[in-house]
Amino acid sequence: MDVLSALCLDAGTILSAEDLLQRCWDGLAVGENQVHKAIAQLRRALRDSATEPRYIENIRKRGYRAVAPVSFPPQHVMGQPAESWSRVSPYVGLNPFDAAHEAVFFGRDAAISRLRRTVIAQSHEGRGLTLVLGPSGSGKTSLVQAGLLPALMRDAGPFRVVGATTLDLGDIGAVKLATALGGALLDLDRDGEPLFAGQSAESIGATLTGEESPPARALWSGHCADPGARFVLFVDRLEALFSGTGPVPRRQFLTALDRLALDGRVIVVVACRNDFYPELAQEPVLMEAKAAGGHFDLAPPNRMEIAQMIRLSAKAAGLSFGTDPDSHTPLDDLLCDGAATSPDALPLLQYTLEQLYLRRSPGRELTMSAYRALGGIGGVIGRRAELLLSGLAGPAQAALPRVFSLIVAAGAADGSVRSLRAPWSALTTDDENLLVRSLVEERLFVSHVHDRQPVFGVAHEALLRQRPRAVAWVAEHRQDRPSSSSRSSAGALITLVIFQ
């Protein structure tokens, strides 16, 4: 399917075996025979002929191309056809995709299908709680909001999802957890009739978190008694539960989620950064969900999926990509290359695409000149980082050189710089922690689990590679060993180059 997708995405263009290997087996040590086998399998499935091709043509000594007409069926979201995206941007910048963006949410079909099966299996087992785990910037929120929820609402399976609501724990501020949960549930309705009629946010929260709580169904309105109807509660950024929340309210909140999930009417989907797994492992409710198969690990997209994200959304919006006049490389190929080297930088890719869209030509082309003016993905990151830094207090800004000394390796013989992942435990002050948390929240840093411990680092090495003064400085000091002092000064210089 990856080979067929690659040919269809570039219908009429000859793709060599090397092209297909790079796009479909990126990072795997396989030979051209794999490509030829895949083409042969496709021809059998399509009942095509190598001598009289109707679908896939073999161009001797050059490669393969799709010769049949290729069209992408329109998707409909909330009653609006995909063609409506010709008037608005299909890109979300640093925001997540939501249900309104389903028609331009591409590249995650396999993950959506797997997550849907996990959620349905959990519901069948009578424990409708699923925990979605992945690094920061991996697209957990988008996967649920623009992928899973629309898929469940279209489902003609064993139950019907007729409503959904979201509780973002990163945005509740000083509101009590129980009250925030009750407020989210108050938004659930069916055909305009509230699911929890006659209740308040406080009363719902108190009922679900109380020691002697009755079943959740005691809260429901009588008109919601349809046994085939389901509602979804999506709890986003669960990691906020482990920052400043005491153990008692945290345990009560998780117990309330468990009660909702066990009752069967509400399906609970929770998203959390996987670098918080040590904290998750201390919560019995979440570990019981894991034992029941309710943990879903979101893998980074492969190169073909990244290509779909870039190209198919552009097709849906009637956009085209320019070409580098010197190398004749299409802009979409450059974007694929930049994102594929760091698949956890998806928000930064979307941010770059959004900036290119704002600078599009009158003919709706995303131009190479705009890409160069932005400085590529790295240039866009630098501008965003400068805005963030200017809004932080002085002590947090002053922590930046020390933080960068932990995650920058300098002094290589070729004059390059390389990003590292540093453990959160290496941060020694509150200001360092505040700075890194802020950079992670802005998707400029990523945080995930490595060797069973939470680590952080820059979201994309372009942040370091595309700053000429940094590269020149490293070349000057290439004989230096990466001692703590040299790395600290490297971090300080690179910090100034990036953020000033």
Q: How many helices (H) and strands (E) does the chain have?
A: 22, 18
Q: Do the beta carbons of residue 369 and residue 336 sit within 8 Å?
A: no
Measured between alpha carbons, how far is 186 from 194 in angstroms, rounded to an integer? 7
Looking at residue 13, what is its pLDDT?
A: 80
Residue 406 has which token pair? Answer: 């932990």
Maximum alpha-carbon separation in the chain: 76
Q: Residue 151 is part of a domain; what is its CATH number? A: 3.40.50.300
- For the chain, the helix, strand and coil percentages under 3-state DSSP, each to the nearest 5: 50, 15, 35
Q: Is residue 95 in a domain? A: no
In this structure, the answer to whether residues 49 and 130 fall within a common structural domain is: no
In this structure, the answer to whether residues 54 and 130 fall within a common structural domain is: no
Which residue, 297, 319, 349, sits at the end of a domain?
A: 297
C-alpha pair distances (Å), 98 with each of 117, 125, 131, 230, 382? 20, 28, 19, 20, 27
Measured between alpha carbons, how far is 300 from 313 in angstroms, rounded to an integer? 19
Say how many domains are in the chain: 3
Backbone angle region of 168, left / alpha / beta, with phi > 0 → left and psi within -120 to 50 → alpha: beta
In this structure, the answer to whether residues 64 and 199 fall within a common structural domain is: no
Q: Is residue 318 in a domain? A: no
In this structure, the answer to whether residues 66 and 114 fall within a common structural domain is: no
In this structure, the answer to whether residues 56 and 114 fall within a common structural domain is: no
Residue range(s) defining the domain that contains residue 34: 1-71
For 294-345, how does the pLDDT look when each residue is reduced to its tens digit (9 = 90+)? Answer: 899 998 888 889 999 999 999 989 999 999 988 889 999 999 888 877 766 7
Q: Is residue 232 in a domain? A: yes
In this structure, the answer to whether residues 245 and 112 fall within a common structural domain is: yes
Residue 399 has which token pair? Answer: 């922590």
Torsion angle of the four alpha carbons 143, 148, 154, 156, in this order, in degrees rounded to the nearest 10: 150
387, HSE (Cβ side, Cα atoms, 13 Å): 8
Axis-axis angle for helices 484-499, 376-390 (nearest 10): 90
In this structure, the answer to whether residues 244 and 132 fall within a common structural domain is: yes
Which residue, 297, 327, 346, sits at the end of a domain?
A: 297
Question: In 3-state terms, what secondary structure has residue 13?
Answer: coil
Looking at residue 484, what is its pLDDT?
A: 39
In this structure, the answer to whether residues 156 and 293 fall within a common structural domain is: yes
Looking at residue 30, what is its pLDDT?
A: 74
Looking at residue 229, what is its pLDDT?
A: 80
Measured between alpha carbons, how far is 227 from 379 in angstroms, rounded to an integer? 53
Looking at residue 270, what is its pLDDT?
A: 96
In this structure, the answer to whether residues 113 and 261 fall within a common structural domain is: yes
Q: Is residue 322 in a domain? A: no
Measured between alpha carbons, how far is 175 from 178 in angstroms, rounded to an integer? 8
Burial code (b: 16+ CB inside 10 Å, e: under 16) for 460-471 equals: bbbbbbbbeebb
| Helix spans in 218-324 (H) | 247-263, 277-280, 284-291, 303-316
Q: Is residue 224 in a domain? A: yes
Q: Residue 31 is part of a domain; what is its CATH number? A: 1.10.10.10
For 363-407, how does the pLDDT look when each residue is reduced to its tens digit (9 = 90+)? Answer: 899 999 999 888 777 677 677 777 777 888 889 888 888 887 888
Measured between alpha carbons, how far is 130 from 127 in angstroms, rounded to an integer? 9
In this structure, the answer to whether residues 112 and 27 fall within a common structural domain is: no
Question: In 3-state terms, what secondary structure has residue 448?
Answer: strand
In this structure, the answer to whether residues 167 and 280 fall within a common structural domain is: yes
Looking at residue 275, what is its pLDDT?
A: 81
Residue 28 has which token pair? Answer: 């795997």
Q: Is residue 101 in a domain? A: no
Q: Is residue 292 in a domain? A: yes
DSSP state at residue 323: B
Which residue, 297, 321, 346, sits at the end of a domain?
A: 297
Looking at residue 499, what is its pLDDT?
A: 45
Nearest of 163, 234, 229 to residue 194 by alpha carbon: 163
Looking at residue 61, what is its pLDDT?
A: 79
Q: Which residues of the chain have pLDDT under 70?
A: 26-28, 72-84, 156-158, 211-227, 343-344, 378, 381, 409-419, 451, 459-500
Measured between alpha carbons, how far is 204 from 199 in angstroms, rounded to an integer? 6
In this structure, the answer to whether residues 60 and 123 fall within a common structural domain is: no
Q: Is residue 257 in a domain? A: yes
